[in-house]
Structure 1
Amino acid sequence: MSSSLPVNLGSVSTSGGPNLQEYVLQGTILDHSAEALLHRLRALCDNVDQGMELFKDHEMVYVLRGQSNNQVMLRARRSLDHANNPWQLRYLGQTDLSDKSRSVTVRSYLDSLTSESLSAFLNDIGFRLDHEFVAQGHMFRKGKMKIILSKLHKIQKLSDTQSIEPITASQLVELSVVAPSGTENIADDMKAFAEQLKPLVNMDKL
């Protein structure tokens, strides 16, 4: 999963390019402790005086399988709260393991806003739906960092986003930055912010 982590489509601008990377830290927190984390994030993050950003998104993960069990995975996402918003198509590359000393996950990143016919298009070119879920929660920002606290739900009937139930009794916490490859000091800034969330949640690389 997204691990990418979940986004509010209403606040996403189209981005992409072969040199963009996503820097990620993730953690989980039990439902009964989530409110305390929200209070901490309100104190630490930017523009919270204007109200928290809430989202409820439907994500569909498509896979194209090739020879030798190779596969390409794409993520199609749409807002359930804002039906007129465009769909988002996102590709997350494999984790870059070239530098074992890195304190955060680093992977290639491409995303684009599309029309509502995205699912049909992916099927037409050979992709098949692998799994889907609904993510609902809060999004915060701290400088270039995006912090998401989300509850993940499984869908009981195919693409019926009204028929959902929580997957676990916990919530996903994700801290991420999208920046050009080789951008300096991002990992240090992310780890410093993550330290301020302890002991409520321990953030780590994937």
Structure 2
Amino acid sequence: MSAPGTAIESLTAAMKCNIIPNQEYLLQGSVLDQYVEVLLHRLRGLCDNVDSGPETFHDRELCFTLRAANTNTPMVLPLRVRKALDVNDAPYQLRYVGQQELGDKNRPTIVRSCIDMACSSTILEFLNELGCRLDFEYIARGYMFRKGRMKITVSKIFKINGIGNKPGEGVEPISQSYLVELSVQAPSGQDAIAEDMRVFAEQLRPLVQLEKIDFKRLI
């Protein structure tokens, strides 16, 4: 087993060489419930997993914020924990998502720092001991497609009202539409990916308009 210092040095060297996927390129949109089957049909024709069909998922996601001690000002450290509800032995997924970069306004997609890692079920206890505060949680259920390096998800988002005794109980859809996300995780400096995503997004019009979302305008 490598010494901790050696492991840190190896990780630092790997990041400097741009071989770790630490950025996310992202476009988002939505489609009404009544048109989602048409969108899924189009995605089946455009994406790679045509024969096997799309992957399905049913996940619970908890969104935390690490706050500075003795202040009400949240630190810039949002953390997300996701757990598959339909796969008992699936690991928890911890994700850090940074603010979108203030780059060229003509850039086709959002670009933001993003790091994903698998972890054990004790991650929730660890984040609580670390001082993280749970801001909100939700259930996401839907379909995932692949087109080369691109990932396309079509998700129905549910808010949690209580604890149900059966799957689907205690949750309520937040809208009459599905969230559609087109994303790629890649090392820094691969902005050509964004143009490929723009071209693919054009093929989904007018069913869904995938675009850059300015999250600051939503606050």
Whether the TM-score (by the shorter chain) exceeds 0.5 is: yes
Instruction: Using structure 2 for the length normalisation, give the TM-score.
Output: 0.82
Alignment correspondent of 1:136: 141
Matched, 1:182 2:186: no
Contact in 1 for aligned 2:80/2:95 (Cα 8 Å): yes
Q: Which residue of 1 aligns with 2:33?
A: 31
Match of 1:53 in 2: 55
What are the superposed Cα offsets for residues 41-88 of structure 1, whole Å, 9 maximum, x if unpaired? 000000220122000000000111125724221000000000210000
Match of 1:151, SS state, is: strand
AA aligned opposite 1:38: L
Q: CA deviation at 1:104?
A: 0.4
Shift of 1:155: 0.2
Please report how far the alpha carbon of residue 159 of structure 1 lies from its aligned counterpart in structure 2 after TM superposition. 9.9
142-151 or 44-53, larger mean C-alpha shift: 44-53
Unaligned runs of 5+ residues in structure 2 are 1-13, 214-219
Q: Give yes or no for contact 2:26–2:110 (8 Å, CA) kept in 1.
A: yes
Shift of 1:141: 0.2
> Quick one: distance in 2 between partners of 1:106 and 1:158?
36
| Contact residue 163 and residue 169 of structure 2 kept, 8 A | no
Q: Which has the larger radius of gyration?
A: 2
Give the equivalent residue in structure 2 for 1:22: 24
Q: Which amino acid aligns with 1:156?
A: N
Measure how far apart 1:106 and its partner are.
Answer: 0.2
Deviations 1:108-159 (A, max 9, x none): 0111100011111100110011100000000000000000000000000279
The equivalent residue for 1:123 is 128
* C-alpha distance 163-99 of structure 1, shift in aligned 2 (>3 A): same
TM-score, normalised by the number of residues in structure 1: 0.88
Deviations 1:148-203 (A, max 9, x none): 00000000027997411100000000000000111141111000000000010001
* Counterpart Cα distance in 2 of 1:146 and 1:133: 21
Range that drifts further, 29-38 or 184-193: 184-193
Instruction: Say if 1:17 and 1:110, in contact at 8 Å, map to a contact too.
Output: no
Taking the aligned partners of 1:77 and 1:17, their CA distance within structure 2 comes to 25
Runs of 4+ in 1 over 3 A off after TM superposition: 16-19, 158-162
Separation in 1, partners of 2:79, 2:15: 16
Aligned to 1:65: 67
Say which is worse superposed, 133-142 or 59-68, in terms of deviation: 59-68
Aligned residues: 191
The 2-side partners of 1:29 and 1:57 are apart by 20
Contact persistence 1:53–1:139 (CA under 8 A): yes
